[in-house]
Structure 1
Amino acid sequence: MIQMDNVGIVVEDTDAAVAFFTELGLELEGRTQVEGAWADKTVGIDGIRCEIAMMRVPGGHGRLELSQYLTPVASPAVPENAPYHIVAMHRVMYRVDSIEELLPRLRAHGAELVAEVVEYGDIYRLCYVRALGGVIIGLAEQLN
């Protein structure tokens, strides 16, 4: 048996990331700090201290782990405004009720459109937004 537990994203500011994903509609499940030999051995870096916030999708259909490395401080992995097609670049896609209503609220948290809001046939309205130091979030609005 296999089940998806969560998707993890390293962020620069846990408070800002929690505010952003709360605006998106996720719920804060809990926050904690991790450190110690077991954590060092898990990630392969000595002396880590990391703040983690676990966000859940309402209804229990997935979780997002936000990790802010306090020591050592995380370094940017990709160039600023990197294109989407870089190997190992990733995004998390969320189905939302209305992209038009959500975008202004996300922009208030620093999100910017990667390109345009487009329609995929008469099935979905789609877009990617970049926020939180480069994290790409996909938004999908079902049209029918």
Structure 2
Amino acid sequence: MATNKLLRMDNVGIVVESLDGAISFFEQIGLTLEGRYTIEGEWAGRVTGLGSQHVEVAMMVTPDGHSRLELSRFLSPPIIEDHRKAPVNALGYLRVMFAVEDIDEMVERLSKHGAQLVGEVVQYEDSYRLCYIRGIEGLLIGLAQPLE
């Protein structure tokens, strides 16, 4: 039996073209900008395997303070692949899911900021109303409204 235990999940990272646009979009969902900074140099590249890098980062936090999104904009090295338009059944990281109080209001609010429903809002048993949207830069976002 392992004696080392998991403490928590700190954040999920998303690479974007427009850091300001992504911050604004995720603020509409209800996250708060916790901090904004630049990471650069060879030390960071030793972690990522990219060599010397220069990245603008914004850390967004959920209202409960437990979950974070790390939004990154790479200045160097340049972006080499783009997975934002991948379909829902593509391999790899898929989406971030947020629990919301009112899914209809959230979809309406986010649509004013360019978001589009992927399918439709559906109800899963007596538990949730769910949907996927394509948000800023085509990012796939899940919304779930718990039903009491």
1:58 matched to 2:63? The reply is yes
1:103 matched to 2:83? The reply is no
Normalising by structure 2, we get a TM-score of 0.90
C-alpha distance in 1, partners of 2:107/2:93? Answer: 22
Shift of 1:79: 6.5
Secondary structure of the residue aligned to 2:64 is: coil
Counterpart of 1:118 in structure 2 is 122
Q: 1:130 aligns with which of 120, 134, 138?
A: 134
Larger Rg: 2
Q: What is the letter of the counterpart of residue 42 of structure 1?
A: V
The answer (yes or no) to whether the contact 1:12–1:74 under 8 Å persists in 2 is no
Shift of 1:50: 0.5
The answer (yes or no) to whether the contact 2:103–2:144 under 8 Å persists in 1 is yes
Q: Where has structure 1 moved over 4 Å in runs of 4 or more?
A: none
- Which 5+ residue runs of structure 1 have no aligned equivalent? none
Secondary structure of the residue aligned to 2:34 is: strand
RMSD: 1.4
Cα distance per residue 1:18-60 (max 9 Å; x no partner): 0011000001100001000111111111331100000001121
C-alpha distance in 2, partners of 1:54/1:126? Answer: 26
Secondary structure of the residue aligned to 1:133 is: helix
Secondary structure of the residue aligned to 1:42 is: helix
Secondary structure of the residue aligned to 2:137 is: coil
C-alpha distance in 2, partners of 1:76/1:134? Answer: 14
Residue identity over aligned pairs, in percent, reads 49
C-alpha distance in 1, partners of 2:80/2:134? Answer: 17
Normalising by structure 1, we get a TM-score of 0.92
User: How many aligned residue pairs are there?
Assistant: 143
Q: 1:22 aligns with which of 21, 24, 27?
A: 27
